[in-house]
A and B are shown apart, each in its own frame.
Chain A
Amino acid sequence: MRDSGNSRPAVIEVERLNVWLGRVHVLKDIRGLAIPKNSVFAIMGPSGSGKTTLLKTFNRIIELSKEARVEGRVTLNGEDIFSMDPVVLRRRVGMVFQQPNPFPHMSIYDNIAYALRAHGIVKDKSRLREVVGSVLEQVGLWDEVKYRLNSPAGKLSGGQQQRLVIARALALRPEVLLMDEPTSMVDVVNATRIERLIIELSKDITIVLVTHNPQQARRVANYVAFLYNGRLIEWGPTEEVFTSPSHRLTEMYVVGKI
């Protein structure tokens, strides 16, 4: 495995990780993976390579699947995530899914405010309004929705919904934000906005981005990992992996041959 060549400390570290979904061995002995703090870390690979499964392991949302079996060690700032309360872990490690999934009949405002209230993070109403406004500004949605905060979130366009769910995740101030192909279901304009946002956000938090698009990984990521058939083929700084991949499979992938 290529060394990152960077002094940033690792936020997430993975050792000997194996994941099964039913009888299918989806992730096979992932080891030596260290995601540097305040970076955009892209996980790329062809369909079925285990990208989303790896991402869903980082906040243990994979365990919602009754069929899932996980072995190995994953740490968040040195703490074993499998020893943590998953509820606490998921507050620290937020997630944005491929399909925009706001709570459609809840208002735009409550989509963000609900979890803040539920976790008791913000109780004061005026402070809550400030936080909601601030995260909506952060994702560039405030000007579009400021006069209709009480409208159902389901009435927003797909791109707006995706930015809303990013705002919803950011409101909890996560240390890491997992993003599973966040631009694949939105139009080009919104995709560009989200890519810019990802780069901006990485100044404060660590972004782990799953993408099926190597060009997107190259545009936004500081580091990339290449998965193939459930195995981690290699990872390292983006330019190094793209310009001088150490494995033939990686080379074939980045030039579009697999």
Chain B
Amino acid sequence: MRAREVLALSLTLVATVLTFAPFFWILGTIIYKGVSVLAKAGLGFLLNIPPLPGTNDLGGIVTVLEGSLLIVGMATVIAAPLSLLSAIYIVLHEDSLIARLGRTLLDLMVEFPTIVVGISVFLIFGLALGLGLNALVASIALAVIMIPYTTIQAVEAMRIPKSVVYEAAAALGLREGHIAKILLIEGRGGVVTGVLVGMAKIFGETAPLLFTTATSFDIFANSPLSPVSAVPVLIFVYAFSPYTNWHEVAWGASLLLSLIVLSIYLAARVSLGRGGRYA
């Protein structure tokens, strides 16, 4: 191998290591700091409410975990059908002006600052429509963030099968609705992956929740219209607090949040693999 090739290979290898190093450094720190907290708190970390100021115990994060699960679940219920239906339109009418505009807007929406989404949803739904701060408003903010991720993935999942099966389906005299169902069946692995990727994305979102959730971490959300809080907001508030035990809770919650997000991504990868591939 010539010296220049060795140099080029070394540079690209070093760049690759540098690319992934921050991720492993962050993950390593969270594991190092978080595991001891989870070990100390035990199962109580999942069952107890967060500690109040002036107490020394670790408590748990049950209320914010419930809040996160509720708003992510509701956001998925709002975003998934909208994403799938718009993805079907974009795939079936890919040459139309609306579909082409839609594809461009989706790319823009992915890059859109989530804090702006949060404040806009708060102003429109929380203040103008008078809904206040509750789980529904928080989940609308998260749904707006989730939609482009899920839609883009669903479009890609159905676009490739379309090139293979559309003509065959049309030749059977099937109408568009039935062809869309075939595309969903054929691209189901990628479609499910899209929903999971969207869920993983919003599970860790903090910025929009700063405007739409409460910072009272000891309350359970009883209904979609109840005030709610979430794991990322607890981490944000507790990390900047003066209390040592709150810092520990923030590390434990960070580890748990990371494990949840990584598990969802893993499920997404498995789903994509099971869905099969088109040549």
Residues of A within 8 A of B (CB): 59, 61, 64, 66, 86-91, 94-95, 97, 101-106, 114-115, 118-119, 152, 154, 165, 168-169, 172
Contacts and interface: CB of A to CB of B under 8 A. Distances in A.
- Interface residues of B, dominant DSSP: helix
Contacts of B167: 61, 64, 97, 101
The 6 closest A-B pairs by CB, nearest first: A90-B173, A91-B173, A95-B171, A101-B168, A118-B178, A115-B172
Interface of B: 95, 164-175, 178, 182, 185-186, 188, 275-276, 278
Nearest to B276: A105
Contacts of B278: 104
A61 B170 CA distance: 7
A97 B170 contact: no
A119 B173 CA distance: 8
Contacts of B165: 101, 103-104
B171 A94 contact: yes
Contacts of B166: 64
A139 to B, nearest CB: 16
Residue with the greatest number of chain A CB neighbours at <10 A, chosen from B95, B173, B276:
B173
Contact of A172 (B164, B170, B172, B182): B172
B185 A103 contact: yes
A115 B172 CA distance: 7
A90 B95 contact: no
6 contacts: A64-B166, A97-B167, A103-B168, A105-B276, A118-B178, A172-B172
Given A97-B167, A154-B276, A169 B186 contact: no
A103 B182 contact: yes
Contacts of A94: 171-172
B171 A105 contact: no
A234 to B, nearest CB: 29
A103 B186 contact: yes
A168 B168 CA distance: 10
Nearest to B187: A105
A165 B169 CA distance: 11
Residue with the greatest number of chain A CB neighbours at <10 A, chosen from B168, B275, B276:
B168
Contacts of B275: 105
Nearest to A59: B171
Contacts of A87: 173-175
A66 B96 CA distance: 11
A59 B171 CA distance: 8
Contact of A106 (B171, B173, B175, B182): B182
Nearest to B189: A105
Contacts of A168: 172
A104 B185 contact: no
Given A61-B167, A66-B95, A97-B168, A105 B174 contact: no
Given A64-B170, A90-B172, A97-B167, 7 more contacts: A88-B173, A97-B171, A104-B165, A105-B276, A152-B276, A154-B276, A165-B168
Contacts of A106: 182, 185-186
